[in-house]
Chain A
């Protein structure tokens, strides 16, 4: 990549008042964006919930459970209920199990409505991409519980790498800047302004005393790597201009604060790694996220019926009846319980006799629109730019470029050439053919890496709102709907339960799926215990 031209940026003078107003804007906007769920997900910190599901073995009678959907919630339910002695069967509409836990490799079929694709990546265990979930934070204890129990081999996953780039068409002439440089300079200037503002105050309001005041100034110095007079004059944190090993390191000239603010990086992406679900250290299964699905399937032999598309769900006085298409014929089955993992927006279109308020909530959940584009690179050119794993950011539609956390120094690699959770962007990508999406990803990515297109072999794309049998990714709840209707959809109607990440405050994460399934199973157990008590009385 070319060196950004420092000279073209004029250092504008900011008055202290203007600077403080700007700072307020920086802090306020970032906080606001995070609160609003910047990533299309609920960014509220997740409390560690270490308690695990404990189902007691069934003691009386035979109980049957129909599970609709073989995504993570359905697989968890079939596994746990099976262990407790329930007779389970999963009906899955698609040609594969896993739901949005989808790893794409050589030869795979991507079942997008109107845009079916096959994956032509080379046949190599390192050449894959996780089209759905790709990372697991440590506090997602429920999904990690199964990774541990099934001995799924894990590796660390890097979300945040200071050697990656930030590129913004409105800043630095549209040229990419290393995240380490942007962050060092931004923190430096921010700290200098804070330190000098505090110094200028004769006294701080209580409860701060003079010692606190001095500590606060020292904090600014440490936070921004300021010189002894509390001025930011550049930092080795930004990376040296030259030298540093056999000759003295030469600092880069700091970029002007006003120019740093021209970029939109500070408004969200810069703080991405602070979000509890996205912060280091993260994990991912070696060889693809679907190793978790494989582990469940190997324990559920004969219990998963693929290509079974549900036609009707009927609540019975006792239990539930489900009709489904299989091999061109309508089949009907009854069970004591039904765990329904069908995306609510699709269930709203499937014949049912649910109460009006229950199905009414399903109609109001919005389709999550997320898109990913994966590119196979002939050569791991990013390693020559000292990038090993992590994410580069841009204000173009592709939004992010991910570099693989595995397969270092190998010849080829799979880049995530685009990942957007903005519905408008996802609509633009979904309206394109796969070839057009690849071309767009290469054009936009070329602003971050010169000769980008030269390295790209081929690619695949997954627009979740267009994927067959899903038509969305991570149900979109409005805050108002959560308040008024979450309890309605979470509660059982007779023996019927809606489950999945959609019935959690963490849609779009496997943790939400597992905990939703656990919640429903514990409720089933309570129903059973109650029935036994009634029999005993």
Chain B
């Protein structure tokens, strides 16, 4: 850690990014992409679309072991190790850095019944919003702009109990119950195919400048 603190000192010296830039935060981009837009090759989701409150809650979830405690999920384990190595100050800086990026997504072409997906999405809309823009009051993250492979993996993880099973994770438990109603894999495909058609929403972060 001494090394990282040294780094922080070096990197923050009088630059325009001094307020938000931190060596730890630059770490985020190695996996999550140079604009925090996610990288399928690393199985790292889009962070740029996520608001600060959700990023904060998920780092907490990884630190406390709500996420990543399942041994079968190597990707979550990777993030868990990083989250556990971060101090409260690191987390604050990382979130400040990540929410400063313009929102973007690598386009995806999906095959799925979008009309059926739209019908299924009506259940999701209650929490995640009609445009999948997310709802802080419900603790529901934005889904529009997130990658289908990531959404699919999370739905499967909720369905199998790898996610949402931890004690005290009441919001995860709710999502686990709802995912359990989507029994057919085709339903999951149709659902994410529909979400993929939705425009990326402006997050609740005032610094965000939407890039089309």
Contact = CB atoms under 8 A, between A and B. Distances in A.
Contacts of B33: 349-351
Interface of A: 93, 109, 113-116, 118, 309-312, 325, 327-330, 344-346, 348-351, 362-365, 367, 427, 430-431, 466, 468-469, 471
Interface in B102-156: none
22 contacts: A93-B30, A113-B31, A116-B3, A116-B85, A118-B3, A309-B26, A309-B29, A311-B34, A327-B15, A328-B21, A329-B15, A329-B16, A344-B41, A346-B30, A348-B39, A349-B29, A349-B38, A349-B39, A362-B41, A365-B41, A431-B77, A471-B31
Contacts of A363: 40-41
Given A114-B84, A311-B34, A431-B74, A348 B13 contact: no
A349 B42 contact: yes
B199 interface: no
Given A114-B85, A309-B29, A327 B13 contact: yes
B41 A349 contact: yes
Interface residues of B, number: 39
Contacts of A116: 1, 3-4, 85
Contacts, number: 97
A367 B42 contact: yes
A469 B10 CA distance: 19
A430 B41 contact: no
A115 B3 contact: no
Contact of A327 (B11, B40, B41, B84): B11
Contacts of A310: 34
A328 B84 CA distance: 24
Contacts of B17: 328-330
Contact of B78 (A113, A330, A351): A113
A348 B39 CA distance: 7
Contacts of B60: none
B12 interface: yes
Lowest 4 A-B CB distances belong to which pairs? Answer: A114-B81, A349-B39, A349-B33, A114-B82
A468 B3 contact: no
B87 interface: no
Nearest to A323: B34
Contact of A328 (B15, B34, B83): B15
A469 B30 contact: yes
Task: Summarize B's interface: helix, strand, loop or mixed.
Answer: helix
A113 B30 contact: yes
A364 B44 CA distance: 14
Contacts of A364: 41
Given A113-B81, A431-B77, A345 B41 contact: yes
Nearest to A424: B74
Interface string B77-101: 1111111110000000000000000
A115 B85 contact: yes
A166 to B, nearest CB: 29
A469 B71 CA distance: 25
B27 A113 contact: yes
Contacts of B39: 345-346, 348-349
Contact of B71 (A365, A431, A468): A431
Given A114-B78, A328-B11, A350-B33, 8 more contacts: A114-B81, A114-B82, A116-B1, A346-B41, A351-B33, A365-B41, A431-B74, A431-B81
Contacts of B32: 349
B27 A468 contact: yes
B43 to A, nearest CB: 9
Contacts of B40: 348, 363
Nearest to B40: A363
A157 to B, nearest CB: 32
Contacts of A325: 26
B18 interface: yes
A115 B81 contact: yes
A514 B16 CA distance: 39
Contacts of B208: none
B56 interface: no
A350 B16 contact: no
Given A367-B42, A427-B74, A466-B78, A471 B30 contact: yes
Given A114-B85, A351-B35, A345 B42 contact: yes
Nearest to B12: A328
